[in-house]
């Protein structure tokens, strides 16, 4: 891999914006124009923050850390789902280190604390003609100082402040995440997915749970989430004992 993407470089190329529609959109635009792998785009507020499948991500001004990383991994597209899982492990471990609380990962991309979502991740990729990944953009939203009023009707969400009573600095949270992510990302390039898979499994709240697999709104499969395969797909055993694997491209899995 290109060493330029590891370690401190992720910290050296941080671009701050007062307001963006979405940090992912900006990062995708910059990546298309040739921005270097390792560029990080941070916004104080997003006016159209996005989750998966065009769901909205609430990102009020200054209350959380809304950022996206541009990555140029030198791996085949079949491994691209692993980037989301890697980012989830990095986020869970960074937040654990920072707060001493126990965070868990809900398949595939949500970081949960006490059953509520504290961080969401959205990875988007562009493929090169030879099927490799040209660039990937990984967007992360971490709720830092939101109060219950800030969440309004969103009862499934929490923040570091609500969980700990401490007002963390955005910079501190960003640094904790980038430190953790940089290590895991270079490890992934040199040693593969195995230890990241182990860490994902160890931190997951989805394993052992009943999950329903949906294509758009139609249920297509249900069963118990048993394991993750070497590519990062979830293995689900149905009532008849049959095991099927699912990635999170176009399907949504409900659990926890």
Instruction: Kindly list the residues in this chain that would bind ligand ADP in the complex (CB under 6 A).
Output: 51-52, 55-58, 109-110, 117, 120, 141, 143, 154, 156-157, 252
State in angstroms the smallest separation of the CB of 193 from ligand ADP: 21
Which of 237, 177, 240 is closest to 213 using CA atoms? 237
State the residue number with the nearest CB to ligand ADP. Answer: 51
State in angstroms the smallest separation of the CB of 87 from ligand ADP: 12
**Choice between 6 and 109, CB closer to ligand ADP:** 109
CB atoms within 10 A of CB 149: 6
Rounded Cα distance, 208 and 166, in Å: 33
**Choice between 38 and 161, CB closer to ligand ADP:** 161
Please answer whether residues 71 and 138 qualify as being in contact, where contact means their C-beta atoms are separated by less than 8 angstroms. Answer: yes
- Give just the sign of the alpha carbon dihedral 197, 141, 178, 125: positive
| Per-residue CA distances from 130 to 32, 37, 184 (Å) | 17, 19, 26
Those residues with Cβ within 8 angstroms of residue 215's Cβ, 6 or more apart along the chain or in another chain: 250, 251
State in angstroms the smallest separation of the CB of 143 from ligand ADP: 5
State in angstroms the smallest separation of the CB of 91 from ligand ADP: 13
**Choice between 160 and 178, CB closer to ligand ADP:** 160
State in angstroms the smallest separation of the CB of 66 from ligand ADP: 9
**Choice between 58 and 124, CB closer to ligand ADP:** 58
Rounded Cα distance, 188 and 190, in Å: 6
Max Cα-Cα span within the chain: 53
**Choice between 143 and 182, CB closer to ligand ADP:** 143
Structure tokens at 131: 């099927």
E strand intervals along 206-254: 210-215, 218-228, 234-237, 243-246, 251-254
**Choice between 9 and 25, CB closer to ligand ADP:** 25
Structure tokens at 97: 């280190």
State in angstroms the smallest separation of the CB of 10 from ligand ADP: 23
**Choice between 71 and 157, CB closer to ligand ADP:** 157
State in angstroms the smallest separation of the CB of 108 from ligand ADP: 8
């Amino acid at each position: 891999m290109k060493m330029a993407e590891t370690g401190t470089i992720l910290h050296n190329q941080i671009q701050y914006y007062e307001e963006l529609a979405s940090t992912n959109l900006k990062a995708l635009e910059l990546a298309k124009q040739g921005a270097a792998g390792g560029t990080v785009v941070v916004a104080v507020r997003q006016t159209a923050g996005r989750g998966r499948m065009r769901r909205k991500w609430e990102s009020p001004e200054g209350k959380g850390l809304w950022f996206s990383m541009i990555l140029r991994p030198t791996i085949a597209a079949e491994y691209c789902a692993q980037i989301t899982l890697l980012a989830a492990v990095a986020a869970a471990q960074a937040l654990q280190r920072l707060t001493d609380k126990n965070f868990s990962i809900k398949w595939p991309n949500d970081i949960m604390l006490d059953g509520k979502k504290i961080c969401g991740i959205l990875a988007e990729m562009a493929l090169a003609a030879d099927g490799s990944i040209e660039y990937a953009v990984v967007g992360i939203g971490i709720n830092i100082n939101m109060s219950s009023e800030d969440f309004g009707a969103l009862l499934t969400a929490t923040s570091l402040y609500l969980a700990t009573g401490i007002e963390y600095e955005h910079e501190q949270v960003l640094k904790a995440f980038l430190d953790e992510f940089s290590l895991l990302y270079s490890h992934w390039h040199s040693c593969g997915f195995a230890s990241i898979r182990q860490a994902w499994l160890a931190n997951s709240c989805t394993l052992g749970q009943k999950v329903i697999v949906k294509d758009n709104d139609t249920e297509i499969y249900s069963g118990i989430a048993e394991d993750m395969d070497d590519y990062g797909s979830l293995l689900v055993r149905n009532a008849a004992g049959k095991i099927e694997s699912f990635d999170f491209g176009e399907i949504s899995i409900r659990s926890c």
